[in-house]
Each structure stands twice: as structure tokens, then as C-alpha cells.
């Protein structure tokens, strides 16, 4: 299974090769979607792919390293009331999570494809795209 | 048969609208009919074709009259929810423009947002100051207004509904923020802003049926074409089918804000650029003859525009290439050997909704076709602004 997590790093955990250890010790497929870490600590958005019990162990490992872990049910939300279905977000999205339905001409948002990069957030003229991190 | 041999008059069309026997199709339906049954049959069968567009129209705003306070005030400076409006008019008249910002330059709440709030019936705070006169002694006021308390709330937009528009991309190495949206570096994306084949002015390229006085769908209500739009260019380069290959004609429009709907009037924020207003406009095209039918049969693949590098800080940017709307709407165009994702700043979904809504109004006998009271001057050129001397201007 694949699940997305937000990791919050305290300043003293920031210099450990945590993603390397997740791969090496737990054989998890790790996809870094977003990372903002400096000497003061920071945040990382990870997608972990592997058996659910192994993911659980990986997360326990992260927590033991004082990393705060929160799973993301939803990273970005599209507000249908605000959206005017213009579609300017489509060409901004690097992973094709925003697509035009050629029958209805509505803009569809595919939550599973979204890597929570945030590029669409300030590109939306009606502030219909919201980052929930 | 001459293409301009008259098939029907405005009076005949309106008589059929009033008796609810009019044949009206949306631009999409009409193009499909032409494709399956041929131009002559479509021209013979259909009285009116409805078009639509919904996109960023920065040159928009509203004329407001607040009524008089007691004692009265000659408003010299005013703020509507902190957004300044122009009051260099009589005592309690003001013009609120869509792109106006407050002193903090907050781009998430500008004139357009106040206009949308008015349309939604929300309360708006009015503050005004004055120097006080013998007849208008009051020097300041702080109160609340809404669309209901205003005497007049008239949308008057000096330039809307561009007949074709440029495609924007970014060849530089950094992200740029423009009125065409956020443009990713190294030709990372391209944006365009026209409904293409269903856009009003592309279905009447020479303004044969659209001119001063034309009744239109404006923001969900009936409005009118007031004048040619500012920056009107009657002489753009054109394709053989008559459609301009660059931004060309524009219209100034007027209508009653009190009757409009937030479904078709929406505030926009173009990040790091400013605010704008999405305006929904629909125009009915009477099929007076086969030539009008031919114009309304135009397809996306036959309408071209230029793709420009918006990182070039110049008035006349270099054309990277010409593209047609079928390519743009496919989701990708090729620029310099790269497959560049495209998307639209104007909503096809809303544009289609508007053309259907206008069709409904006409079918139900609620909307008559107004022949232009005066045609536009297609000799009108779009002039640049250069830094000149007094003497050069007088020459």
C-alpha cells in the first residue's frame, strides 16, 4: 500500500539520513514529495510504499528519532464552490493530478496522483485550491 | 447564390422569438449541424446562434450611486471595504474598478472582490471624507451599504470580450507571474484565454451583427454593447475565414449589476500580478444570410493565435509560433521542440453554460435580438504610447 505522511523534524534530527535508513532497514519505497529542512529542522512530505505492517515499523523508527509523523488523508483540497472550472491549474500540475473532463468540461482533481507540491495553490485565481499541511 | 442574399431580417427573427417558434442553437450545436447537414441547410434552418465566454476581463468596474446622507456630504475620497473608488464626479457617485487594491496592496481582496460581494448581496463598508461645502456640510461618513441600498449599481466595462487573445509562455529560467497566470520556467507551460470557436466575437469576425446597442448576456442578466471596447483593433492580420490571428476587436459593455449573479461575475487573484474580474458574456448571432452561417461554422482548428514569451519585457514580443485552438485545447503544444502543457484562463465550462442559458432565454421569448444602432469602425487602429515631446504631438 501507498500512504503519504508529513514528517516534522526537530533541529537535532535533521542531520540523520532518515530516508536512507527507511530504505535500507525497512525496504520501503520512499518518494520524497516535498522537503524544507535546514539546521533548525523542518518538514518533509513522504510517500511510503510497502506492506502496511512494515510501514508501521518504519513510522515507529521515525518516531524513535523524535520525528513527528502525521498521515495525510488529503494534502490538497479543491473547493467546488469557488472553482470556476477555468483549468489554468492543469498546465501547472507536474503530475497530471488536475485534468479536464472533455465531456463536461469540468476540471477533475485526482487526489491519488497529487504529490502535494503546492504549485497549484497560488496559481488558482479564485483560491479554490487549498493546501492542508 | 450570393452569400449575403438575405435569409431573414431582425424583425422576422424577433417575431419568431415572440411567438416562441424561433430556431436557436448554441455555437457548438450549430457547428455540429453544419458538419453533418451542410452549410446551406444549417443557414436555412437556424435563426440564431448563441455564443459564450467567461474569463478574466480586467477593464471592468461598476458605477454606484449611494444616495444622500443627512446632512449631505460631497464625497471627495471613498473606500469600499478599504478599496478606494473614483469619486471625481458629483457628490455621491463613484466608480469602483476591478483591479483597485487597498493601501496594503493585498491582492487577495481588491475591487473585483468588492464587486463580487455586492453581487452576492453582502454588506460592504463605505467610508468617505470631504472638505465640506456650504451645500454639503458633512465632512466624513462611515456606514454600510449593499446592492439593495444603492440607487444605481451599473456595471460598465470599457474593454471586455477580446476577439482572440495571445498564448503566453515563459522561456526564461525563473518562474514568472503574469496576467496570463503563473508561467513555469523553460517553457514549462503555456496559457491561453479564449473560448475559441464558441467565443462571441470569433463568430462574427467583421462585426456585421455586433455593434453599439447589441443586447447581450452580461453576468447573468441582459446587458448591452455600449461602444467599441478600448484598444479596439479593426485591422489585425486575419485568416481567410476572417478570424483575427492576434488580439483584435473588443467591446465596452453595460448592464444592471443588481440583476447579475455570482455564477457569472467572479473575483480573481492573479498571484503577484493583481486582481481581475471574471465576466460571463454571451452574444446571440442572427443568421441573416449564408455568410453569417459560414462565420458561425468556424472551428477551433481554423482559429489561430500567436504564442509569445512573456518573459520578454517588451511591448512587441517575438512570436514563437502560431497555434490554433484545437492544438491549445488538446492539452499540449510544441514550442522549440518541447511538448509544452497548455491550459486556459477562461472557463469553457462556464462559456458553454452561458451559451445554453442564452439559448434558453431566446427560446422562451425573454430575449430579443437588437440590431446594432451603429456599427463599429473597422478602420480603427490600435495606437501605442511613446514618450514624445509636445512638438511631436502637434505635428
Choose one of A33, A49, A72: the last residue of a domain.
Answer: A72
Q: Residue ranges per domain, chain B?
A: 10-57+156-363, 67-150
Task: Find the domain containing A78 and state its range.
Answer: 74-133
Tell me: do A10 and A64 sit in the same domain: yes
Count Cα neighbours of A75 within 13 Å in the Cβ-side half-sphere. Answer: 27
Tell me: do A12 and A67 sit in the same domain: yes
Residues on chain B touching A104 (C-beta within 8 angstroms): 349
Residues on chain A touching B344 (C-beta within 8 angstroms): 86-88
CB contact under 8 A, A125 and B343: no
Helix (H) or strand (E) holding B167: strand B167-169
CB contact under 8 A, A84 and B350: yes
Residues 316-335 of B with CB under 8 A from A: 331
**pLDDT tens digit sequence for B224-264:** 999 999 999 999 999 999 999 999 999 999 999 999 999 99
From the list A91, A107, A122, which residue is nearest B341 (CB)? A91
Tell me: do A68 and A78 sit in the same domain: no
What is the reported pTM?
0.92
- How much is the pLDDT for B267? 98
pLDDT band at A14 (very low <50, low <70, confident <90, very high): low
Known catalytic residue: B135? yes
C-alpha cell belonging to residue B225 = 454593447
Residue B372: partners with Cβ closer than 8 Å, 6 or more residues away: B207, B209, B210, B211, B212, B213, B214, B225
Tell me: do A78 and A99 sit in the same domain: yes
Tell me: do A78 and A66 sit in the same domain: no
Nearest CA in chain B to A85: B347
Residues on chain A touching B191 (C-beta within 8 angstroms): 88, 91
The angle, 0 to 180 degrees and rounded to 10, between the axes of the packed helices B27-37 and B348-363 is 80
Tell me: do A62 and A91 sit in the same domain: no
Choose one of A72, A98, A121: the last residue of a domain.
Answer: A72
CATH of the domain at A110: 3.30.70.20
Tell me: do A41 and A17 sit in the same domain: yes
**pLDDT tens digit sequence for B319-328:** 999 999 999 9
Where b means 16+ CB within 10 Å and e means fewer, B240-277 reads eeebbbbbbbbbbbbbebbbbebbbbbbbbbbebbbbb
Our count of domains for chain A comes to 2
Here the ipTM equals 0.92
Tell me: do A83 and A109 sit in the same domain: yes
Choose one of A24, A55, A72: the last residue of a domain.
Answer: A72
| pLDDT > 80? residue B1 | no
Residue A43: partners with Cβ closer than 8 Å, 6 or more residues away: A6, A7, A8, A9, A34, A35, A36, A37, A133
Q: Is residue B255 reached through a cis peptide bond, with omega within 30 degrees of 0 on the bond before it? A: no
Q: What is the mean pLDDT of residues B350-371?
A: 98
What is the phi/psi pair of residue A111, to 5°?
A: -55, -40
- How much is the pLDDT for A55? 92
Tell me: do A112 and A84 sit in the same domain: yes
Tell me: do A43 and A83 sit in the same domain: no
Tell me: do A25 and A83 sit in the same domain: no
| pLDDT > 70? residue B133 | yes
CB contact under 8 A, B270 and A125: yes
| pLDDT > 90? residue B74 | yes
Looking at the complex, does the CB of residue A105 fall below 8 Å from at least one CB of chain B?
A: yes
From the list A85, A91, A104, which residue is nearest B189 (CB)? A91
- Chain B nearest CA to A101, separation (Å): 10
Q: Is A58 helix (H, G, I), strand (E, B) or coil?
A: helix
Where helices occur in B20-94 by DSSP H, the ranges are: 27-37, 39-45
- Chain B nearest CA to A92, separation (Å): 7
From the list B182, B190, B345, which residue is nearest A122 (CB)? B182
Tell me: do A68 and A85 sit in the same domain: no
Q: What is the dihedral of CA B24, B26, B29, B35, to 10 degrees?
A: 90
Amino acid at each position: 500500500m501507498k500512504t503519504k505522511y508529513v514528517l516534522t523534524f526537530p533541529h537535532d534530527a535533521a542531520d540523520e539520513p532518515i530516508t536512507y535508513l527507511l530504505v535500507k532497514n525497512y525496504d520501503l519505497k520512499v518518494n520524497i514529495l516535498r522537503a524544507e529542512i535546514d539546521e533548525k529542522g523542518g518538514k518533509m512530505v513522504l510517500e511510503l510504499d510497502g506492506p502496511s505492517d512494515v510501514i508501521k515499523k518504519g513510522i515507529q523508527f521515525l518516531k524513535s528519532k523524535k520525528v513527528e509523523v502525521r498521515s495525510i488523508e488529503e494534502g490538497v483540497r479543491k473547493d467546488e464552490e469557488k472553482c470556476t472550472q477555468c483549468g489554468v491549474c492543469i498546465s501547472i500540475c507536474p503530475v497530471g493530478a488536475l485534468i479536464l473532463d472533455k465531456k463536461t468540461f469540468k476540471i477533475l482533481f485526482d487526489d491519488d496522483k497529487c504529490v502535494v507540491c503546492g504549485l497549484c495553490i497560488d496559481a488558482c485565481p479564485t483560491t479554490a485550491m487549498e493546501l492542508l499541511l | 447564390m450570393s452569400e449575403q442574399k438575405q435569409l431573414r431580417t431582425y424583425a422576422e427573427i424577433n417575431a419568431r422569438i415572440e411567438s416562441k417558434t424561433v430556431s436557436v442553437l448554441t455555437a457548438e450545436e450549430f457547428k455540429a449541424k453544419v458538419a453533418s447537414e451542410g452549410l446551406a441547410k444549417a443557414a436555412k434552418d437556424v435563426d440564431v446562434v448563441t455564443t459564450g465566454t467567461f474569463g478574466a476581463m480586467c477593464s471592468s468596474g461598476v458605477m454606484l450611486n449611494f444616495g444622500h446622507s443627512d446632512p449631505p456630504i460631497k464625497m471627495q475620497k471613498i473606500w469600499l471595504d478599504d478599496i478606494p473608488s473614483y469619486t471625481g464626479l458629483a457628490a455621491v457617485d463613484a466608480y469602483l474598478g476591478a483591479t483597485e487594491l487597498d493601501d496594503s496592496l493585498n491582492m487577495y481582496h481588491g475591487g473585483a472582490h468588492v464587486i463580487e460581494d455586492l453581487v452576492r448581496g453582502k454588506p460592504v463598508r463605505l467610508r468617505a471624507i470631504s472638505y465640506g461645502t456650504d451645500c454639503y456640510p458633512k465632512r466624513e461618513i462611515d456606514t454600510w451599504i449593499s446592492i439593495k441600498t444603492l440607487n444605481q449599481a451599473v456595471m460598465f466595462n470599457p474593454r471586455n470580450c477580446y476577439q482572440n487573445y495571445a498564448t503566453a509562455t515563459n522561456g526564461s529560467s525563473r518562474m514568472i507571474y503574469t496576467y496570463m497566470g503563473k508561467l513555469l520556467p523553460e517553457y514549462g507551460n503555456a496559457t491561453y484565454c479564449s473560448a475559441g470557436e464558441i467565443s462571441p466575437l470569433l463568430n462574427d469576425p467583421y462585426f456585421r451583427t455586433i455593434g453599439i446597442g447589441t443586447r447581450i448576456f452580461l453576468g447573468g442578466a441582459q446587458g448591452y454593447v455600449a461602444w467599441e471596447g478600448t484598444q479596439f483593433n479593426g485591422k489585425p492580420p486575419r485568416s481567410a475565414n476572417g478570424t483575427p490571428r492576434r488580439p483584435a476587436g473588443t467591446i465596452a459593455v453595460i448592464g444592471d449589476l443588481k440583476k447579475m449573479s455570482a455564477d457569472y461575475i467572479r473575483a480573481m487573484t492573479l498571484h503577484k500580478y493583481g486582481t481581475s474580474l471574471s465576466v460571463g458574456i454571451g452574444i446571440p448571432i442572427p443568421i441573416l444570410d449564408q455568410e453569417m452561417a459560414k462565420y458561425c461554422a468556424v472551428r477551433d482548428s481554423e482559429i489561430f493565435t500567436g504564442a509569445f514569451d512573456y518573459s520578454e519585457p517588451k511591448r512587441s514580443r517575438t512570436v514563437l509560433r502560431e497555434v490554433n485552438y484545437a492544438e491549445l485545447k488538446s492539452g499540449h503544444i510544441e514550442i522549440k521542440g518541447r511538448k509544452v502543457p497548455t491550459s486556459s484562463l477562461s472557463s469553457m465550462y462556464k462559456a458553454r453554460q452561458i451559451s445554453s442559458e442564452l439559448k434558453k432565454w431566446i427560446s422562451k421569448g425573454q430575449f430579443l435580438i437588437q440590431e446594432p444602432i451603429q456599427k463599429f469602425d473597422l478602420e480603427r487602429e490600435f495606437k501605442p504610447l511613446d514618450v514624445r515631446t509636445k512638438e511631436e504631438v502637434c505635428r
